[in-house]
Amino acid sequence: MSPYQQLSAVPLAAGGAGEHRPLIIALFAVFVAATLGLTVWAGRQTKGAEDFYAGGRQFSGFQNGLAISGDYMSAASFLGIAGAIALFGYDGFLYSIGFLVAWLVALLLVAEPLRNSGRFTMGDVLAYRMRQRPVRTAAGTSTIVVSIFYLLAQMAGAGALVTLLLGITSEAGKVAVVVLVGIVMILYVTIGGMKGTTWVQMIKAVLLIAGTLLITFLVALKFHFNISSLLGAAAENSRKGAAFLEPGLKYGATATSKIDFISLGLALVLGTAGLPHILIRFYTVPTAKAARKSVNWAIGIIGVFYLMTIALGFGAAALIKPADIEKPGNTAAPQLAEVIGGGAGSTGGAVLLALISAVAFATILAVVAGLTLASSSSFAHDIYVNVLRKGEATEKEEVGAARWATVGIGAVAVVLGVFARGLNVAGLVALAFAVAASANLPTLLYSLFWKRFTTQGALWSIYGGLASSVLLVLFSPVVSGKETSMFPGAHFAVFPLENPGLISIPLGFLLGWLGSLLSKEEPDAQKYAELEVRSLTGTGAH
Amino acid sequence: MSAAPTLDPGTHEPPDYQQVQSSAEFDELRRAHRSFAFPLTAAFIVWYLVYVVLSSYAGGFMATKVVGHLNVAFVLGLAQFVTTFLIAWWYSRHAARRLDPRAEAIKSRLEAGA
């Protein structure tokens, strides 16, 4: 019997979803209640700036590794990659590899020196040897831009997810969900600060890994722990045959899409180490050695997770009728959970579907909390205290500003999320990686390792990388001209690639170099000596 | 001079970082980090890009069957996971043996003096 015949009539989004709704909502409510309780507990211990921004720097390497994984594995990677594999086979799997390899850049070049020389934000390190106000302004701007793009994709994703998982199709329902996500995330961050957010991310990581392990185990059991027979079944059931297991179904269509994929790969591998919400996690551990240990744990956890997406994605491709997987495939993982648990109507299927759906919501909440914290920290610490108040604010004023900034940025994210809910914003996560790789990574690496780097170089690389990546996307097929664009009706896509990285990343590096060479100002040798010694030895680390 | 300067105990002057930076001891630490991390970073980025480029332009080669339904594309993809784990382990071992003791020595001298 071909496996999908027995499962053919299970469109998740329509009628089938309704009956699972109470269970999904109950599980999710338990998660929200438990994490909010934890947040209040964490909030009681959050007094000074070090608590709010860095969780008191008391987390262990393992705890932070878990939290990093929870911060990093977004709904896009959980639902998105499983879905991409289910639809495009091998090309979907290709995606996850860049997300993992990228961690080596963080491990070898960024995590430890950042921990040693900064206090709370990426801007601390970028502005260390430079003129504070212009560089802090630039660092704050790029932090907020990267985080807002990322946040927007997650918020809009939350709206789309409930439609698919809970069968809520009314516009008011979707708006309500986006607002609810916004309120919960603002509560996490304002009350619990970094400590509360870290615990939420740790719990979410454990849930996500546990849920994925369970599904992976059940899929493996079904295929007798034989990966070749899983792949074979997926290829057959997908109706695409061997091509399903080969490169090309998603990215191999045209010469442009091939170059686009290289551009995407470059952004993925170089973006991670420039994502502000990841960088601030390195401040939550006491030493650089603990920061190294946390990246190692993160690489292990994230690596195992992405390996399991093979089981999730190809399992879905093998067991679900291709026509039932709705594009762009975000429901493939929950659908697989239902099928592998015993099919529609069975108790096992209902429980597993509810479990995976609740995990998906938890995933969104933990990620948006981390993003909001990163942008409000940078706003309060870089822009408010060091630019507007010229470093003259009290600690109490600073934490107050960070809390208000959280409310403000949360509100902006909700409003944008509501407006963007009908738009195709999946491309924004890749854009956030491209901006991080073009604006933040060059500046970070030059600051840490190049003695001739100057304030002008830093400004050129941040603003140049930021502007070029954003502008190239604005004039790309992501925004207009294609059926899958944000505005399919408009036509101003003069730049052919969906991902700007191939141009904007080298440009960011080039501008940082050129800006420094053409600078009239001499680099501050005294400050660089201080930064270099501190970043490599940990002398005077906070 | 071969060692980083020690500051007089009891003074609260910040260390002379430029003097530390130009000491032979610090130079060794910097070299131990850079000579390991920089080439290795270049190598894994190139290895990843080669894999991406092969996926885009060498479809026939990547489709070659290795075992059962496993083809070269999968084997290379799984190899990316393996090399990532190995490099993380290798760097951490290098750091524990060659970087941490050096960094610790300089740091404790500076902080004892400060």
From first to last of its 542 residues, chain A has per-residue pLDDT tens of 333 323 333 344 433 455 677 888 888 899 999 999 999 999 999 989 999 999 999 999 999 999 999 999 987 778 888 888 999 899 888 888 999 999 999 999 999 999 999 999 999 999 999 999 999 999 999 999 999 989 988 887 777 777 777 777 788 888 888 899 999 999 999 999 999 999 999 999 999 999 999 999 999 999 999 999 999 999 999 989 989 999 888 777 788 889 998 999 999 999 999 999 999 999 999 999 999 999 999 999 999 999 999 999 999 999 998 888 877 677 889 889 999 999 888 889 989 988 888 888 889 899 999 999 999 999 999 999 999 999 999 999 999 999 999 999 999 999 998 888 767 666 788 889 999 999 999 999 999 999 999 999 999 999 999 999 999 999 998 888 888 788 888 889 899 998 999 999 999 999 999 999 999 999 999 999 999 999 999 999 98
Q: Which two tokens stand for residue A397?
A: 């004023």
Helix, strand and coil content of chain B, in percent to the nearest 5, comes to 75, 5, 20
Res. B6 pLDDT band, cuts 50 70 90: very low
Q: How many separate helices (H) and strands (E) can be counted in chain A?
A: 23, 0
Amino acid residing at A355: L
Residue of B nearest to A292 (CA): B92
Return d(Cα A87, Cα A236) in angstroms, integer.
13
Smallest Cα–Cα separation from A381: which of A200, A143, A110? A143
**B110 touches A at CB < 8 Å:** yes
Count the neighbouring beta carbons within 10 Å of the beta carbon of residue A128: 20
Torsional sign, CA A516, A521, A523, A527: negative
Task: Indicate the pLDDT class of residue B12, thresholds 50, 70 and 90.
Answer: low
In whole angstroms, how far apart are CA A500 and each of A77, A178, A266, A382? 20, 29, 10, 27
Res A253: pLDDT: 76
* Residue A258 contacts B, CB cutoff 8 Å: yes
Both tokens assigned to A105: 């850049």
By CB atoms closer than 10 A (0-12, 13-18, 19+), residue A309 is: buried
Q: Give the Å distances, CA to CA, from A28 to A65, A160, B44.
A: 24, 16, 40
ipTM for the predicted complex: 0.92
Chain B positions touching A110 (Cβ under 8 A) are: none
Domains within chain A, CATH numbers bracketed = 3-537 (1.20.1730.10)
Of B70, B77, B95, the CB nearest to A97: B77
Q: How many CB pairs under 8 A join A and B?
A: 158
Cβ atoms of A188 and A165 closer than 8 Å? no
Please list every residue in chain A whose beta carbon sits closer than 8 Å to the beta carbon of residue B106: 533, 537, 539
* Pairing of β B65-67 and β B70-71: antiparallel
Q: Cβ–Cβ of A289/B15 closer than 8 Å? A: no
Mutant choice from B45, B54, B84 vs A, greatest count of A C-beta within 10 A: B84
Of A265, A537, A540, the CB nearest to B103: A537
Whether A105 and chain B come into contact, CB under 8 Å, resolves to yes
* Best to test chain A binding among B12, B21, B28, B87 (most A CBs inside 10 Å): B21
Residues in B closer than 8 angstroms to A238, CB to CB, are: none
Q: What is the DSSP letter of A480?
A: B
From the list A280, A240, A272, A296, the residue with the least C-alpha distance to A96 is A272
Among the partner residues A101, A109, A299, nearest to B80 by beta-carbon distance: A101
Answer whether residue B1 shows pLDDT above 50.
Answer: no
Confidence of residue B49 (pLDDT cuts 50, 70, 90): very high
Amino acid at B97: R
CB proximity under 8 Å: A 231-250 to B: 231-232, 235, 242, 245-248
